[in-house]
Structure 1
Amino acid sequence: MTSNDPILEADLNAYVDDQLAVGRRIEVEAYLSERPAVAAQIMKDLRVRDELRLALADHRTVIRQETREAARQLERSLSRRRILAVFRRAAAIALFVAAGWVAHAVFGPFGATEVIASVQPPAFVEEAVRAHRTTLLRDTMASQPETETFDRAEIRSATAIVLPDLPKGWTVLDTQVFPSAYGPSVELVLQPEANERLSLFAVRPGSFAVQDVLLFHADNAKAAYWQIGDVAYALVSESRKADDLTQTARELSRTLY
């Protein structure tokens, strides 16, 4: 499984230091395979590192001049990459600041009467909303019967997705498996109380993260989403208030620890 995270200078340093997990090492190696110049420098760093380790494996009390020189070479190489990373971040910040001043000069301090800030949610949140709307459509079709059978262990065995424990009194009205980019996803149609329906969507998004509950508005629907490890979840509703939906999602997420 690979992630969509870009390869940073810190990843290259950690690769040389043997500090990366196997999955991330594979991603770094794929990155290097497409960049011969960077790969050549990394190979040089690895050679110096190995020479240093071999020298340090000698238990003589006097450190040889070759060992000192290898250590200095490795330190200089890693320092160069760290300094370049700092300069790149500083340049990006300067670019954004400059763009802000240009906008200020062009539009003036009162150029906009309203500012709406939004953060684009992960792709799985939009999948959850689509699955929720598909479920509402299925509900109006007599030819699409609901599947009320809910077996948490069977779902985990078939999809590697762990579902949270549901509160007492909640009813599972439908259980469906949908395709997604990184394997099957699962949607439960839940009835916390009469005349209310929620959709709980779970999927493996292809990346590892620990993300607290966030809220996303999509037209008439709201989605409270979070991620634990390599499984992401979204609780979707069209009727529940935003604060209540967020709190309910937090309570469900706690059952997964």
Structure 2
Amino acid sequence: MTRPVDPVSDDDLQAYVDDQLDVARRIDVEAYLSANPAAASRVMADLRTRDELRLALAETPRAASAATARLATAEAARRLEGALSRERWLRRMRIAATVALLIGAGWFAHAQFGPLGVSRVVASGLPPAYVEDAVRAHRTAQLRAGMRSQPGASYDPAEIRAATAIVLPALPEDWKVEDVQVFPSAFGPSLELAVRTHEHGAVSLFAVRPGTFDVVPATTVPKDGLTAAYWQVGEVAYALVAPNDAEQGAASAREIDRTASRLARSLY
């Protein structure tokens, strides 16, 4: 019955040079070296340096001065240390290069596809519950916009903050707030702004206190024929809800994602 052979590592090669392996493991290492000329060459160079050090220690004449013995020993030790240091340095460089390659590939994949290779724009995870509330508020705003008996409220960010403790992001200058509505929620009032924009048409900006403290980057999901981008900064969560342009498809979702990211950054 053949004995299974563990892979030979650099530590095994170093232990082989230092005579720290048992007979069975030395046989494994020698079999590995016989099939790997490059590794065998490095090991032979280390063995030669080791033997030179031993020879310098063993053959120094007893009558020689202490200074001569120390010089020979120091020179042999220096050569051995240099050889081992070079090997360790090359090994570290190989590891560092591999890690850098993996990190670079990971950042490239993250930039192109988002976490786990899935774009944030098409993330399939379940969105927070407040996204449902944002969609309902958006549809309510559309209903109010079509009723002449429901005039829109004026927009005053300072008054909103004082009344609800909700800080709203800085809106682009060309956005026109047409209506402001306050809705009840489990952790205090929520807020919905009906906004007319040039790039996305009629959108809604929803803000609510979800009851948890968190920092969530802007993430865009399709929702009931609409596109919703949600994020959270501290104790307040936000959702930007816009019409889903069937002709533009994912491109429209990416635009909403970029807009939501800009709004999120304005809160810092």
Q: Could you say which TM-score interval applies, normalised by the shorter chain?
A: 0.5 to 0.7
**Residues 19-58 of structure 1: matches in 2 within 5 Å?**
none
Select which of 258, 263, 267 maps to 1:252. 263
For 1:242, the equivalent position in structure 2 comes to: 253
**Residues 14-163 of structure 1: matches in 2 within 5 Å?**
118-147=124-153, 149-163=154-168
**Conservation of the 8 A alpha-carbon contact between 2:200 and 2:242:** no
* Cα distance in 2 for residues equivalent to 1:219 and 1:183: 26
CA shift, 1:225, in A, is 0.3
**Conservation of the 8 A alpha-carbon contact between 1:224 and 1:236:** yes
- Give structure 2 stretches of 5+ with no counterpart: 1-121, 246-251
**Conservation of the 8 A alpha-carbon contact between 1:196 and 1:239:** no
CA shift, 1:154, in A, is 0.5
**Conservation of the 8 A alpha-carbon contact between 2:123 and 2:221:** no
* Cα distance in 2 for residues equivalent to 1:172 and 1:245: 17
Identical counterparts, % of pairs: 55
Aligned-partner residue type, residue 209 of structure 2:
R
For 1:183, the equivalent position in structure 2 comes to: 188
Considering fraction of residues, name the structure with more helix.
2
Per-residue CA deviations over 1:111-133 (Å, capped at 9, x if unaligned) read xxxxx983111111110000001
* Cα distance in 2 for residues equivalent to 1:202 and 1:211: 14
2:182 is paired with a residue whose SS is: strand
1:212 is paired with a residue whose SS is: strand
Which of 1 and 2 has greater Rg? 2
**Conservation of the 8 A alpha-carbon contact between 2:201 and 2:243:** no
For 1:112, the equivalent position in structure 2 comes to: none
Moved more, 163-172 or 225-234: 163-172
Select which of 193, 212, 229 maps to 1:207. 212
Instruction: Calculate the TM-score normalised by the size of structure 1.
Output: 0.52
Aligned-partner residue type, residue 161 of structure 1:
I
For 2:176, the equivalent position in structure 1 comes to: 171
* Cα distance in 2 for residues equivalent to 1:130 and 1:155: 21
Per-residue CA deviations over 1:109-166 (Å, capped at 9, x if unaligned) read xxxxxxx98311111111000000111111122222211x111111001000000001
Aligned-partner residue type, residue 144 of structure 1:
Q
Residue 217, structure 1, aligned to residue 228, structure 2: no
For 1:17, the equivalent position in structure 2 comes to: none
* Cα distance in 2 for residues equivalent to 1:206 and 1:182: 6
**Conservation of the 8 A alpha-carbon contact between 2:200 and 2:243:** no
2:159 is paired with a residue whose SS is: helix
Q: 1:195 to 1:140 in 2, by over 3 A?
A: farther
Aligned-partner residue type, residue 139 of structure 1:
A
Per-residue CA deviations over 1:47-67 (Å, capped at 9, x if unaligned) read xxxxxxxxxxxxxxxxxxxxx
**Conservation of the 8 A alpha-carbon contact between 1:124 and 1:203:** yes
Aligned-partner residue type, residue 125 of structure 2:
V
Q: How many residues align?
A: 141
**Conservation of the 8 A alpha-carbon contact between 2:179 and 2:194:** yes
* Cα distance in 2 for residues equivalent to 1:225 and 1:211: 8
* Cα distance in 2 for residues equivalent to 1:152 and 1:117: 32
CA RMSD of aligned residues (A): 1.8
- Give structure 1 stretches of 5+ with no counterpart: 1-115
2:221 is paired with a residue whose SS is: strand
